[in-house]
């Protein structure tokens, strides 16, 4: 907090009046900016005390790696790092396709996936590589090239996992996910997934590998979110996220749970609004979740553990009822907001000491300071432990148990079908159309015939809701 003094003159008497001006909690991450940047991915390097960034940094004063003593460049292209006071460019100048490349640390070395267009590639176009920064150049070779795009890199149990949209990596064939160890690249499975879809994240939880994205199995039984138990891929808590536009988009372990964020809602047959957690048996919703100003589900784009708390970022306006625009903190029982309004959603977050760095917005209104800053992207939170508001501690609601046997037949059908479950209690059957509208709602018990002949042709989501369980199935009506 800064205190200034204003001189007020009343009938010849001078009076000093203190005027309080609050320091900004959101600040630029650079000297000054001249145009909105294209930074997207961030990575904290605790060993070297820096934050790496992929994309274009549009701050004056960004220092070129190869000539740090010369006149600073106006921007950093491709890759750079923040040392607490300025951005420093690293590596050879990579093409603009690298604006959203993933980053990770593997054996204390910076790893990224990137397009590289050499003279030899002119006839075929750029090649995607998984390469490492040696300290002077990006090391790339055919042993780490792919035939598609790697969207996520993550180190799990000493292995480097890659997830995205590709059919080969290095010298092995795979479908969208693989891992690397001291012997090279390995496929997890080459037969389950439809190659026309891709993955956006990978995580380990309780000994299983989890993946999420816009994907489905060749037989159509598994989609959006799945886990590998060492021998096969299975659904996670039933067939969920199937009706969501973007479904599950981010995975993160925190305090014994697997947290899943994305674009989804209960009206789509999913566990919560844009955020939910899984304990290997039950799905739990975090209150009313994350929604926009019209109470529609928000969208989560990144989840990371920073300073012992879960930081969730994306595009939303409220977190369990409290104002929380684009970024919110979760401590295991309640949400706390940082304050601020943004001109864009937040794509990525990273910790830097007591600060939090973000990419996405080019303009932020700091509600604490009452001032607007132009960030150029990235920006940084410098408010320490200050939080603008917090929700009440939540009694999270258990919404899914994966122990129910459910059959719907015939499927497809003409609007008449049978639902058969192994539950002994009466349950609620709800049907939703592709727009999330509830079109049929009735009680069922055991084996029940359903008449939906008044509904038109199309794909529907059927939710079977009991006192402690919920199961979802996709239904197709053809006439």
Locate the domains of the chain by residue range: 26-398, 405-477
**3-state SS, residue 108:** coil
The gap from C-alpha 33 to its chain's centroid, in whole angstroms, comes to: 27
Q: Check residue 155 and give its pLDDT.
A: 96
Q: Cα(351)–Cα(84) distance, rounded to whole angstroms?
A: 12
Q: Check residue 382 and give its pLDDT.
A: 93
What are the beta bridge partners of residue 35? none
CATH of range 26-398; options 3.30.365.10, 3.90.1150.10, 3.40.1350.10, 2.130.10.10: 2.130.10.10
209-255 pLDDT tens trace:
999 998 888 887 788 899 998 999 988 876 555 544 458 899 999 99
Report field, pTM of the whole predicted structure over 0.75: yes
Closest residue by Cα to residue 158 from 183, 186, 180: 180
Q: Check residue 122 and give its pLDDT.
A: 41
Q: Does domain 405-477 have CATH number 3.30.70.100?
A: no
276-298 pLDDT tens trace:
999 988 888 898 899 998 888 99
What stretches in the chain show pLDDT beneath 70?
1-23, 31-37, 58-77, 91-100, 115-127, 140-142, 238-246, 395-404, 434-436, 467-470, 472
Query: Is residue 356 within 8 Å of residue 380, measured between CB atoms?
Result: yes
Give, in order, the Cα–Cα distances in Å from 368 to each of 292, 376, 383, 384: 21, 20, 10, 13
DSSP state of 413: B
């Amino acid at each position: 907090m800064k205190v200034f003094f204003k001189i007020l003159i009343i009938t010849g008497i001078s009076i000093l009046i203190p005027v309080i001006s609050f320091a900004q909690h959101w600040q630029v991450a650079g000297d000054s900016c001249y145009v909105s940047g294209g930074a997207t991915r961030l990575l904290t390097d605790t060993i070297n005390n820096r934050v790496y960034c992929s994309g274009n940094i549009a701050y004056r004063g960004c220092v070129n790696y190869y000539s740090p003593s010369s006149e600073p460049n106006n921007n950093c292209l491709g890759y750079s790092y923040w040392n607490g006071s300025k951005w420093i460019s690293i590596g050879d100048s990579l093409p603009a396709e690298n604006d959203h490349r993933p980053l990770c640390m593997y054996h204390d070395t910076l790893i990224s996936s990137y397009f590289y267009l050499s003279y030899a590639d002119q006839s075929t176009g750029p090649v995607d590589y998984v390469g490492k920064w040696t300290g002077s150049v990006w090391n790339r070779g055919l042993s780490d090239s792919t035939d598609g795009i790697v969207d996520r890199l993550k180190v799990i149990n000493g292995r480097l996992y890659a997830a995205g949209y590709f059919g080969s990596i290095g010298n092995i064939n795979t479908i969208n996910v693989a891992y690397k160890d001291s012997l090279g690249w390995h496929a997890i499975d080459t037969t389950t997934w439809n190659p026309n879809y891709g993955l956006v994240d990978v995580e380990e939880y309780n000994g299983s590998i989890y993946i999420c994205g816009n994907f489905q199995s060749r037989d159509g039984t598994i989609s959006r979110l799945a886990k590998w138990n060492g021998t096969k891929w299975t659904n996670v808590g039933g067939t969920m996220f199937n009706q969501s536009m973007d479904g599950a988009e981010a995975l993160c372990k925190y305090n014994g749970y697997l947290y899943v964020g994305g674009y989804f809602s209960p009206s789509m047959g999913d566990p919560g609004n844009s955020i939910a957690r899984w304990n290997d048996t039950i799905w739990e919703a975090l209150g009313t979740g994350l929604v926009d100003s019209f109470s529609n589900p928000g969208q989560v784009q990144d989840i990371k553990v920073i300073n012992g708390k879960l930081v969730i970022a994306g595009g939303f306006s409220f977190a369990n009822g409290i104002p929380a625009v684009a970024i919110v903190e979760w401590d295991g029982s309640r949400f706390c907001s940082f304050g601020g309004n943004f001109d864009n959603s937040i794509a990525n977050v990273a910790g830097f000491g007591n600060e939090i760095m973000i990419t996405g917005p080019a303009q932020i209104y700091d509600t604490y300071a009452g001032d607007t800053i132009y960030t150029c992207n990235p920006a940084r939170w410098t408010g320490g432990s200050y939080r603008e508001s917090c929700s009440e501690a939540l009694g999270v609601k258990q919404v899914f148990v994966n122990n129910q046997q459910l059959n719907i037949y015939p499927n497809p059908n003409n609007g008449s079908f049978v639902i058969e479950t192994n539950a002994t209690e009466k349950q609620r059957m709800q049907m939703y159309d592709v727009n999330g509208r509830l079109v049929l709602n009735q009680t069922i018990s055991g084996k029940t015939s359903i008449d939906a002949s008044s509904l038109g042709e199309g794909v529907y989501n059927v939710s079977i809701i009991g006192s402690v369980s919920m199961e979802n199935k996709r239904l197709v009506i053809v006439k």
